[in-house]
């Protein structure tokens, strides 16, 4: 295995060789270049995939390994440049496979990869290499995407933005603040422009919290729209993967590549006849005109700066032609949702992690009890930075004690409470004839790392999307007075991704508030020449 510390494949100096010297064309800052921009540059010959990978590796070297040491990357793919060169040759001889041909993608390290370890960020799975790719990872490779590397996360996708193998990930906007979890590495890496696209997973807000905290776009898709095969499970009733990027366009183009029915994941049958393979066709700059948008004011009031950004966002929507309607969720739902979530999430992990661990070799733990036992043997930091993770490992014990999947406490919530929550949300949307409900993705600005809670913000609405299985699109909305990003969620009914993309894109084009974090600025000569 190429280690976290030894796998720096490029230096900044390696990039400063003859980039994009086309004086007759315009240039776009690297962090602002969309996949559409990259494809124009590829077509014009002002950019190659090899050069693009070198750009990404230079930023990892400058900001993850050195400088602020964001610590988002667990490992880089040692064959990334070789793959890029092969895809450049294929583009010349056969043309591109898809819009993602030659585009680097970073993966949260709970997606299986046949050629790199998949650890869940845990020393307990260190060096484990799965026999094949996760379904969506294979779809990406088949589309010509380059898997650039694996990213740090909250260990086993739960707890704070810290793992026993990868350590603490920092927020590139403020190194003292949390990047949120559990897709912490993806949020920080994409914000810092380590790659155009990243994958996260979301069980209780784990794509959306990091998207908001790091000031990027992210999608928690409808449950069943993306296969979970080959993803380390946290709770399959809620689990989903999802794309994260710096623009709505890039999230849309990535999603279209990864949808499809997977015989290994029965949940994808729900998407039959409902998924698209090109979501970019739904992007409309004027989609807010005539739209009816509900504002969930139940989730305002926790942070005056966040509230101000939300009110400003609503005013932007009104100016774009939208009608804004105040909506409220029942108090019993707001009060009960954390308990509903825990009643399903904890026992499912205890049962389902053993199914995943069964495929690992004899050196690895095989169930929740063995995870607990082996965690007790890790008592101090290692020279490379790996070490104990008490917050996550103590949660193992709570998961082990949470009951079986035939327990009435679990079944009553899964079979009765979750359908009830879905009915409430569908009722609100229908009664007010809403195209979407919006709310602050995180009700408060990103907290200091030392003060970060081990679970999602209970004052936020993010877990309602998991309890219902409905989609939630996060778009940057603005910044607080201390220059921290605030995200807005566009939440809708099942398989409403086309509508959410249209609304989110319209809002993004009207506001354009995303920016490169202050701790990971543009590197010299990093721009893309677009004809």
Let me know if residue 312 belongs to a domain: yes
Q: Where are the beta strands (DSSP E) in 79-174?
A: 104-108, 146-151, 162-163, 167-168
pLDDT (average), residues 358-368: 96
What is the pLDDT averaged over residues 203-226? Answer: 98
CATH number at residue 134: 3.90.1300.10
Q: What is the pTM of this model?
A: 0.95
Query: 50 and 87 in contact (C-beta within 8 Å)?
Result: no
Q: What is the pLDDT of residue 7?
A: 40
Residue 166 lies in a domain: yes
108 flagged as catalytic? yes
At 4, is the secondary structure helix, strand, or coil?
coil
Whether omega before 182 lies within 30 degrees of 0, making that bond cis, reads yes
Q: From the candidates 158, 182, 316, 443, give the one annotated as an active-site residue.
A: 182
pLDDT of residue 189: 99
Structural domain total, the chain:
1
Q: Tokens for 13?
A: 């100096």
In a domain, 280, yes or no: yes
pLDDT band of residue 482 (cuts 50, 70, 90) is: very high
Lowest mean pLDDT among 35-39, 365-369, 382-386: 382-386
CA contacts within 13 A on the Cβ side of 160: 23
Residue 464: strand, helix, or coil: helix
pLDDT at 337 over 60: yes
Please indicate, yes or no, if residue 24 is contained in any of the structural domains. Answer: no
Inside any domain, residue 261:
yes
Query: What is the pLDDT at residue 481?
Result: 98
In a domain, 36, yes or no: no
Determine the pLDDT at residue 99. 98
**C-alpha angle 494-245-22 in degrees, rounded to nearest 5:** 140
Residue 442 sits at the vertex; the CA angle it makes with 339 and 401, to the nearest 5 degrees, is 25
Q: Determine the pLDDT at residue 25.
A: 57
Give residue 331's pLDDT band: very low, low, confident or very high (50, 70, 90). very high
Cβ contacts of 131-134, under 8 Å, gap ≥ 24 = 131/359, 132/230, 133/230, 134/227, 134/229, 134/230, 134/231, 134/241
108, 139, 150, 220: the active-site residue: 108
Cα separation, 68 vs 501, whole angstroms: 33
Mean pLDDT confidence for 235-249: 98
Active site residue 354: no
Average pLDDT over the chain reads 94
Of 178, 120, 207, nearest to 389 by C-alpha is 120
pLDDT exceeds cutoff 60 at 6: no
Residue 193: pLDDT above 70? yes
pLDDT over 90, % of the chain: 92
pLDDT at 2: 41
Give the domain range for residue 448: 47-530
Q: Is 206 tagged catalytic?
A: yes
Q: What is the pLDDT of residue 14?
A: 36
Q: Name the active-site residue from 206, 247, 443, 506.
A: 206
Question: If DSSP codes are grouped into helix, strand and coil, which group holds residue 114?
Answer: coil
Q: Is residue 355 part of a domain?
A: yes
Residue 18 has pLDDT above 50, yes or no: no
DSSP string, 332-396: HHHHHHHHHHHHHHHHHHHHHHHHHHTTS-TTS--SHHHHHHHHTT--S--TTS----HHHHHHH
- DSSP code for 231: B
**42: in domain:** no
The DSSP bridge pattern shows strands 527-530 and 472-479 to be: unpaired
Orientation angle between helical segments 418-431 and 331-357, nearest 10 degrees: 130
String of DSSP letters for 408-423 = HHHHHIIIIIHHHHHH
CB 455 within 8 A of CB 180: no
Q: Helix or strand or coil: residue 311?
A: helix
């Amino acid at each position: 295995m190429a280690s976290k510390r030894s796998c720096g494949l490029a230096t900044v100096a390696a990039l400063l060789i003859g980039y994009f010297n086309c004086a007759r064309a315009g240039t776009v800052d690297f962090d602002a270049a969309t996949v559409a921009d990259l494809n124009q540059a590829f077509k014009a010959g002002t950019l190659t995939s090899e050069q693009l990978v070198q750009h990404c590796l230079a930023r990892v070297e400058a900001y993850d390994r050195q400088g602020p040491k964001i610590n988002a990357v667990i490992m880089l793919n040692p064959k990334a440049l070789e793959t890029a060169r092969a895809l450049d040759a294929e583009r010349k001889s056969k043309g591109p496979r898809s819009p993602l041909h030659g585009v680097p993608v970073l993966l949260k390290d709970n997606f299986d990869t046949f050629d790199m370890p998949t650890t869940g960020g845990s020393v307990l799975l260190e060096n484990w290499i799965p026999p094949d790719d996760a379904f969506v990872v294979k779809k990406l490779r088949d589309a010509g995407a380059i898997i650039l590397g694996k990213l740090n996360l909250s260990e086993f996708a739960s707890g704070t933005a810290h793992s026993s193998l990868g350590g603490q990930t920092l927020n590139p906007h403020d190194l003292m603040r949390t990047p949120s979890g559990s897709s912490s590495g993806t949020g920080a890496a994409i914000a810092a422009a380590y790659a155009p696209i990243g994958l996260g997973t979301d069980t209780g807000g784990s794509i959306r919290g990091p998207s908001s905290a790091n000031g990027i776009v992210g999608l928690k898709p409808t449950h069943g729209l993306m296969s979970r095969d080959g993803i380390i499970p946290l709770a399959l009733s809620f689990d989903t993967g999802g794309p994260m990027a710096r623009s709505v366009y890039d999230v849309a183009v990535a999603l279209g590549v990864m949808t499809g029915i997977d015989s290994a994941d029965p949940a994808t049958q729900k998407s039959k006849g409902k998924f698209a393979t090109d979501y970019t066709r739904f992007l409309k700059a004027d989609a807010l005109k005539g739209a009816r948008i509900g504002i969930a004011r139940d989730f305002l009031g926790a942070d005056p700066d966040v509230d101000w950004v939300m009110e400003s966002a609503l005013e932007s929507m009104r100016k774009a032609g939208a009608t804004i309607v105040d909506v409220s969720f029942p108090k019993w739902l707001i009060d009960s949702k954390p308990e509903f979530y825990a009643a399903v999430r904890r026992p499912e992990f205890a049962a389902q992690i053993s199914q995943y661990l069964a495929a690992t070799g004899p050196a690895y733990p095989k169930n929740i009890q063995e995870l607990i036992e082996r965690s007790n043997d890790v008592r101090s930091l290692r020279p490379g930075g790996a070490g104990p993770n008490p917050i996550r490992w103590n949660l193992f014990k709570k998961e082990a004690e949470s009951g079986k999947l035939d327990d009435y406490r679990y079944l009553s919530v899964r079979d009765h409470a979750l359908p009830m929550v879905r009915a409430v949300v569908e009722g609100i949307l229908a009664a007010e004839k809403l195209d979407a409900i919006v709310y602050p993705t995180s009700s408060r600005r990103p907290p200091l790392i030392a003060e970060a809670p081990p679970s999602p913000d209970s004052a936020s609405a993010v877990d309602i999307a998991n309890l219902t299985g409905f989609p939630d699109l996060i778009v940057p909305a603005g910044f607080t007075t201390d220059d921290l990003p605030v995200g807005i969620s566009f939440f809708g009914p099942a398989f409403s991704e086309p509508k959410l993309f249209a609304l989110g894109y319209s809002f993004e084009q009207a506001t354009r508030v995303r920016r490169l974090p202050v701790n990971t600025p543009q590197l010299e000569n990093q721009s893309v020449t677009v004809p």
